[in-house]
Structure 1
Amino acid sequence: MQPNLSPIKPSFKPRNNRFYVTVTTKFWVSHALAIGWTIFALYLSLPWLRDLSSIVSLPLAILIIGGIAYVPGYMNAFLIASLLLDRQPVLRDQYPSDSVTMLIAAYNEEKSIFNTLQYVANQDYLGKIHIIVINNNSTDHTDQEIIRAKKELNLDITLLHEYKPGKFHALNKGLQHVMTPYVITLDADTLLHPSSIRYLVSRIKNSPSNVSAVAGSMLVRNSRETIWTRIQEWDYFLGIASIKRLQGLYQGTLVAQGAFSLYKTECVREVQGWPDAIGEDIVLTWRLLHNQWKVYFEPLAVAFTDAPPTLSHFVKQRSRWARGMIEGLIEIKPWNQPQLYTKYLTGINFMMPYLDFVYTFCWIPGLILAFFGFYWIVGPLTLLVLPLTIISYSLLYTYQRNYVFKNLGLKVRRNTLGFILFVLCYQMIMSPVSVWGYLQEMFKLKRVWK
């Protein structure tokens, strides 16, 4: 992806606030619609429930069908209703000039770090950007590439070294040297759209004082590399983006991802920086939320990352994400979150192991049985979830294309095969991988970052 490097002037117009609907109203209206859909699904599923309970008992049948249809259907209906009601607040000041510090933890990044810094140099941000790169015990020529970037790109770069392995050690080392009110984290292999930093800072500057962080929007850069990256392009573009928008609407984005997010420096320091966790960004975000701060999401602050090009790399990354979620749940239980929306959103995460276990050990075997004519678990009624999925993806696609890509001068590339495989097969890969991540955390297996 080679974006236009000229400053972006968005074409959207402020919406009329005369019909403003409060977040609380959106929350309960979305719930009402989702519950209505679930009741309808329960009614339609009675024959299915009766047949399955005659084989495995009624309680087990409810657990299985609940994990396959009831809960996913409710969640999709809640997502669709919320997205239809979502109205991103207009940015009053789109050209802030506050000084910011960027932390980049680098481990053997000689092939990518210069390119990443080049995109930082091409930002249209009016304020000063101080960059701190923390070399986390690299054994290649990462240092030389950083020094070259400092000279050739005329960037304000400070190079630090952290010899303790672990990204959280590197980020905390850099945090000690931050002198600005805002700090941005950026992965060493991530490329920024030229207006990304401006939108991140603008969002937090135009937000209430209790907003502690703003997550950027991650998209896939290497989507043409393999079939795996083609599938993941749609996961980032539709799946992850929709969840981020939902969470941002309810002021509790659950992951201000370390790949590209902005934080208030004082807030990060108050929660003791990044924790010793494989999902350090997840646990940090939940600590911020636990301190009664809010975390927003800015869809126009786009960054492009490399998705895992092979199945083995994908398994390592996504099992790590699942394990990080469990770390967050262990440290801060959903019911201990102080805000209603955050209780609910982390509560959904609390349900994910149940859903993934049912999908892995019931739905997938049930699909195999269905091919042989046994519709005990997977049958025609399971297709009821599909229309909701298509509707939600259609809404997201329209929003991403018309609001995000159009305003940023980007184009949605054709990837029909990737989309078909994403809709039909992706969850059959994701759920077992997530279960593997849960088991890793349960048995405290060795952490693997890459």
Structure 2
Amino acid sequence: MNEDGRKALRRMLYLPVSGKFLIALIGASAWMGFSIWAAEPWFADLQDHVGLVLAVFLVYGIAIIPGFMNAFLAISLILDKRPPHRPLTVYPPISILVAAYNEQASIEETLVSIGHQNYPGGLQVIVINDGSTDNTAAVVERALDQYPWLTFVDLKKNGGKARALNIGLKEVLHDLVITVDADSFLYRGALANIVERYQADPPNTRAVAGKILVRNSRQNWITRCQEWDYFHGISAIKRVQSLFQGTLVAQGAFSVYDRAALAEVGGWPECVGEDIVLTWALLKAGYRVGHCEDACLFTNVPSTVKQLVKQRQRWARGMTEAFIKHPGILLKSRLSTFFVYWNLLFPWLDLAFTIGFIPGLVLALFGYYWIVGLMTLALLPAAFALSLLMFSIERQMFKKTGLVVRKNVQGFFVYVLLYSLILQPASILGYLDELLRKPKAWGTK
């Protein structure tokens, strides 16, 4: 077959995004129907003990709806054939914003990683010191002579990350704005890759999220299990959301934005989850937000249970803020709105897990299998299968970028079996923080 014939065959076999969405939706719905049928004995037994309403709340919140979500995710990942981004003839100039608060130990290495990128277009890096009480300012001032592309904005009073980024935005010279966390390290080619993806994505794209990986994964069991969360859990969700035209979080740790679009939506909002609220403002304005799976940035993640709980509280609170500030996004007729409604279910799922599954584990230890029993154990093979699918996809990406997947068996089993015991109760605390309007401040990312 000649080249023209191969192109014609590819066009015949091409499945549009809407078709992939429909297949994933039908497949996940079929799995949900099967799950409801299989769960009938469990549901009937639980109803006898706790009543109809609580039984529905627990069974659907612990198993049925999460099962639907996992099936949709798995089918979508199988159907996702991302077009490659290619080198550009001319690379557009970029401006990088680095907001820093008490980052004397890491900011210098972050700047080194930016310099090692050798980005083939114009480069401006703006470090905004947000009233640090350590030697962050002195470290950056010493680097000014070394890096001609570096600009320093030294704020004497701490005002929060959103304010720091908005002040830095006023100094931006170029149309593409990239945010990078001050305690992170850019992997080679990250800047070129994310710009290439931005340029290759559909014309209405106004932001692209990079890929975040764990830098301190060898520190302890907390960081080892987070390595798996970032490596394939978070990455897989972003891939699927990007496939269906709307990644829901262009994270502040590493993302590229269109400067005009940032100005249009008012920049970063003054809130805990400034990155998710900003992303939803872009989606609400009708723009697309993508994801670049091979633009990698390594960052330090929480290394204690307390820090991890604080981080996930902040993330859950940020999602709540996004719903409060942009309720109209639920009325947007686009594929990505499906995932917004999906997020609307998270408080239910997190609460069902916290007040149902965790106590159910304790009851099971004493021989009472009302909540946790054979039916819930049957979910484990599906969880491992989904993890294996995510792993195989991410391993291919690692191979292409020259990275090596570390053998982290202990972290994997903790991630699959125990991770939710920390995260979902932490999310409940985050929802309560926002509902009770607790004070907001810089926290773990």
Determine helix, strand or coil for the equivalent of 2:150.
strand
The number of residue pairs the alignment matches comes to 435
Partners of 1:344 and 1:385 in 2: CA distance: 24
67-76 vs 333-342, which moves further: 333-342
Equivalence for 2:409: 416
231-240 vs 379-388, which moves further: 379-388
Aligned counterparts, 1:248-287, within 5 A: 248-287=242-281
Partners of 1:336 and 1:44 in 2: CA distance: 32
What's the CA shift for 1:161? 2.4
What's the CA shift for 1:386? 2.1
Partners of 1:314 and 1:41 in 2: CA distance: 32
What's the CA shift for 1:95? 6.2
Equivalence for 2:4: none
Equivalence for 1:8: none
What is the letter of the counterpart of residue 273 of structure 2?
A: G
What's the CA shift for 1:383? 2.5
- Pick from 343, 346, 351: which aligns with 1:349? 343
Equivalence for 1:209: 203
Q: Is the 8 A contact 2:160 2:441 kept in 1?
A: no
Equivalence for 1:5: none
What is the letter of the counterpart of residue 73 of structure 1?
A: G
Equivalence for 2:425: 432
What is the letter of the counterpart of residue 416 of structure 1?
A: V
Partners of 2:169 and 2:68 in 1: CA distance: 41
Equivalence for 1:311: 305
- Pick from 103, 120, 123: which aligns with 1:109? 103
Residues 201-250 of structure 1: per-residue CA shift (max 9 Å, x gap): 10111122210100000000000111110111111012111111111111
What's the CA shift for 1:340? 2.3
What is the letter of the counterpart of residue 240 of structure 1?
A: I
Partners of 1:165 and 1:258 in 2: CA distance: 17
What is the letter of the counterpart of residue 205 of structure 1?
A: Q
What is the letter of the counterpart of residue 320 of structure 2?
A: I
Partners of 1:180 and 1:335 in 2: CA distance: 29
Determine helix, strand or coil for the equivalent of 2:96.
strand
Q: Against the structure 1 CA distance between its residues 259 and 28, is the aligned structure 2 distance closer, same or farther, given a 3 Å change threshold?
A: same
- Pick from 73, 78, 81: which aligns with 2:75? 81
Equivalence for 2:390: 396
CA-based RMSD of the aligned residues comes to 1.6
What's the CA shift for 1:17? 5.3
Unaligned runs of 5+ in 1: 1-13
* 2:317 aligned with 1:323: yes
Partners of 1:66 and 1:43 in 2: CA distance: 12
Q: Against the structure 1 CA distance between its residues 95 and 83, is the aligned structure 2 distance closer, same or farther, given a 3 Å change threshold?
A: farther
Partners of 1:394 and 1:161 in 2: CA distance: 46
What is the letter of the counterpart of residue 437 of structure 1?
A: G
What's the CA shift for 1:335? 5.5
Q: Against the structure 1 CA distance between its residues 282 and 239, is the aligned structure 2 distance closer, same or farther, given a 3 Å change threshold?
A: same
Give the 4+ runs in structure 1 shifted more than 6 A: none
Q: Is the 8 A contact 1:118 1:149 kept in 2?
A: no
Aligned counterparts, 1:23-422, within 5 A: 23-94=17-88, 96-152=90-146, 154-162=147-155, 163-333=157-327, 336-402=330-396, 404-422=397-415
- Pick from 430, 436, 445: which aligns with 1:443? 436
Partners of 2:439 and 2:411 in 1: CA distance: 33
TM-score (norm 1): 0.94
Q: Against the structure 1 CA distance between its residues 367 and 322, is the aligned structure 2 distance closer, same or farther, given a 3 Å change threshold?
A: same
Determine helix, strand or coil for the equivalent of 1:151.
coil
Partners of 2:83 and 2:333 in 1: CA distance: 21
Partners of 1:215 and 1:337 in 2: CA distance: 24
Equivalence for 1:11: none
What's the CA shift for 1:414? 1.1
Q: Against the structure 1 CA distance between its residues 448 and 360, is the aligned structure 2 distance closer, same or farther, given a 3 Å change threshold?
A: farther
Partners of 1:112 and 1:349 in 2: CA distance: 34
Q: Against the structure 1 CA distance between its residues 369 and 63, is the aligned structure 2 distance closer, same or farther, given a 3 Å change threshold?
A: same
Residues 329-386 of structure 1: per-residue CA shift (max 9 Å, x gap): 1112276352422221111111000000000001100111011111111111113322
Unaligned runs of 5+ in 2: 1-6
Identical aligned pairs, as a percentage?
Answer: 43
What is the letter of the counterpart of residue 82 of structure 2?
A: Q
Determine helix, strand or coil for the equivalent of 1:52.
helix
What is the letter of the counterpart of residue 414 of structure 2?
A: L
Partners of 1:329 and 1:277 in 2: CA distance: 13
Partners of 1:334 and 1:81 in 2: CA distance: 29
Determine helix, strand or coil for the equivalent of 1:180.
coil
What is the letter of the counterpart of residue 115 of structure 2?
A: A
Q: Is the 8 A contact 1:317 1:449 kept in 2?
A: no
Equivalence for 2:3: none
Q: Is the 8 A contact 1:186 1:261 kept in 2?
A: yes
Q: Against the structure 1 CA distance between its residues 81 and 43, is the aligned structure 2 distance closer, same or farther, given a 3 Å change threshold?
A: same
Q: Is the 8 A contact 2:119 2:191 kept in 1?
A: yes
